[in-house]
Amino acid sequence: MSLIEDLKSLKETAVKRINATEADIEALRVGLLGKKGELTLLLKGMKDVAPEDRKTVGEIGNDVRQKITTLLSEKKAAIEEQRLNEQLASETVDVTMPGSNHHVGQPHVLQQIIDEIEQHFLGLGFEVIDDIVDSPEVETDEYNFERENLPKDHPARDMQDTFYITPEILLRTQTSPVQSRSLEKHDFSKGPLKMIAPGKVYRRDTDDATHSHQFHQVEGMVVGENITMADLKGTLLSIMQELFGEKHQIRMRPSYFPFTEPSVEVDVSWNEVTPDMKPEDIQWIEVLGAGMTHPNVLRMDGIDPEKYSAFAFGLGPDRFAMLKYGVDDIRQFYLNDVRFLSQFNRKGN
C-alpha cells in the first residue's frame, strides 16, 4: 500500500533531516508536522484507504508523528545544551590572571599635608575652622590688618603685598584674620580657645622656587589663662616632629610680627642632618611664624590681656610639603600635572 510506503519513507527522511540539522528545529517541525506539513498532507490520503486498513495505517501514522516529535525535542535539547556549553566555555574566568588596575583619584598632596596637620591638632583638642563664614578668603582690611595691630599707615603692611578689591576689601594675605573672627565668637566660660584655621591666602609675591602668589597657611591660636611661650614651643615642636620625624633639624629664631610679642620664626633643615655636618653646611627653609599674641590684638577683640594670654602661629603647608617630599620648586604643586601629583598617594593605591 503506497500510503504506508510513503509514511515509512517520510519517517526515514525525517530522521535524517532532524539528525543533520544544526539550528532550525522550529522550521523543521512546521515543515513536517504543521498544518501544511508533509505528514499532515500524507495523512489526508487516509480518506482513500480501505476501511479495514485504516487502523493499521492510522497506527503507522501515529508512530511516525510520535517518532518525529520525540526526535525533534531531543535534538532541540541537544542544541540548547551545546549552545550553553559553548557560552560557558567562552565566558570562563581565569582567576589566576593578574587583575587590571583602575586609576583611583586622591586628594592633592597639599590637601594631604593639611589633613595630617588637622589630625595632629584634633588630637591635641583643637577645633578646626575652615568654613567660608568664619574663615573667608575675601576679607576686609579691618580683619586682615587693623585688628592684627596693623593700622593703615603701618610700615609692616609692606611685608605682605596685597591684592586689593576695593580700598577696604582684599584677598586675605594671611589666615591671621581668623584669630579675631574666632575670638569674637568664643565663650570663655566653656574653657580656653584652641583653634586652627587652614586655608588659601594671596600675595602679590613674584613666583619663584619658594614663593607662590597663592599658597596655603594654617593659622593656630590658643587663648586662656597662663598660656606661656613654653606652651607655644611645645606645640610647635610636636607638629614638627609629627611631620618630619627626627630626620630634619628644627631651629627657632627671634623675629618680628606686629601682632605678636615676642615673635619667632621656625626653620627646618632642607637636608637630613648628620652628626659630622658643620653648621654652615645645613640649609634652612622658613616654614612658620609665631609668637605670644600682642596685648593690643587681645584688647581689640574685647579680651582683657591682664587676665588672658595667648599664642598664635601661621604655618605654610606648601613649604612643609616641599620639605617632606623633597620637592625643590613650589610651582610644581600648582601645575596640575597628574604624573607629578600621582606620586603622592597616602593610601598607596
Give yes or no for residue 203 binding ligand FA5 (CB under 6 A): yes
Contact 61, 40 (CB under 8 A): no
**How many angstroms from the chain centroid is the CA of residue 298?**
40
Please state, in angstroms and as integers, the Cα–Cα distance from residue 29 to each residue in 12, 24, 26, 74, 242, following that order.
15, 9, 5, 12, 81
The C-alpha atoms of residue 28 and residue 33 are separated, in whole angstroms, by: 8
Give the residue with the Cβ less far from ligand FA5, 64 or 290.
290
Beta bridge partners of 105: none
Query: Contact region for ligand FA5 (CB under 6 A) — 33-41, 236-244, 252-260, 271-279?
Result: 252-260
Residue 199 within binding range of ligand FA5, rule CB under 6 A: no
Q: How far is the CB of 190 from ligand FA5 (least distance, A)?
A: 23
Find, among 149, 152, 291, the residue nearest to 233 by Cα: 291
Binding-site member from 174, 235, 249, 269 for ligand FA5 (CB under 6 A) = 174
- Per CB under 6 A, contacts with ligand FA5 among 253-312 are 257, 259-260, 286-291, 312
Q: Is 64 helix (H, G, I), strand (E, B) or coil?
A: helix
Across the beta sheet with 284-293, what order do the strands follow? Answer: 127-128, 193-202, 214-224, 309-315, 284-293, 260-272, 248-257
CB 333, CB 110: distance < 8 Å: yes
Shortest-Cβ-distance residue relative to ligand FA5 = 316
Q: Both ends of the chain: CA-CA distance in Å?
A: 84
User: CB of residue 233 vs ligand FA5: minimum separation in angstroms?
Assistant: 14
**Part in contact with ligand FA5 (CB under 6 A); list of ranges 89-97, 211-219, 235-243, 271-279:** 211-219
The one among 211, 231, 282, 284 contacting ligand FA5 by CB under 6 A: 211
**Is residue 316 a contact residue for ligand FA5 (CB under 6 A)?**
yes
Residues 322-341 that bind ligand FA5 (CB under 6 A): 330
Block residue for cell numbers 627657632 = 252
The single residue among 176, 249, 269, 309 that binds ligand FA5, judged by CB under 6 A, is 176
Determine how many CB atoms are found less than 10 A away from the CB of residue 172.
Answer: 26
Secondary structure (3-state) at 310: strand
* Rg, C-alpha atoms of the chain: 43
318, 322, 324, 333: residue in contact with ligand FA5 (rule CB under 6 A):
318
String marking each residue 216-235 x if it binds ligand FA5 according to CB under 6 A: -x------------------
Q: How far is the CB of 210 from ligand FA5 (least distance, A)?
A: 7
Q: Which of 121, 143, 145, 215 binds ligand FA5 (CB under 6 A)?
A: 215
Q: d(Cα 178, Cα 258) in Å, to the nearest integer?
A: 16
Mention every residue, 6+ apart, whose C-beta is less than 8 A from residue 212: 205, 318, 330, 331, 333, 334
Residue 281 CA to residue 269 CA, distance in Å, equals 10
In the complex, least distance from residue 320 CB atom to ligand FA5, rounded to whole angstroms: 8
Candidate list 314, 322, 323, 333; residue touching ligand FA5; CB under 6 A: 314
The 48-67 contact track toward ligand FA5, x by CB under 6 A, reads --------------------
Residue 312 Cβ vs ligand FA5, minimum distance, rounded to whole Å: 4
Q: How many residues bind ligand FA5 (CB under 6 A)?
A: 24
**Shortest approach of ligand FA5 to residue 322 CB, angstroms?**
9
**C-beta closer to ligand FA5: residue 55 or 253:** 253
Binding site for ligand FA5 (CB under 6 A): 174, 176, 203, 205, 211-212, 215, 217, 257, 259-260, 286-291, 312-314, 316, 318-319, 330
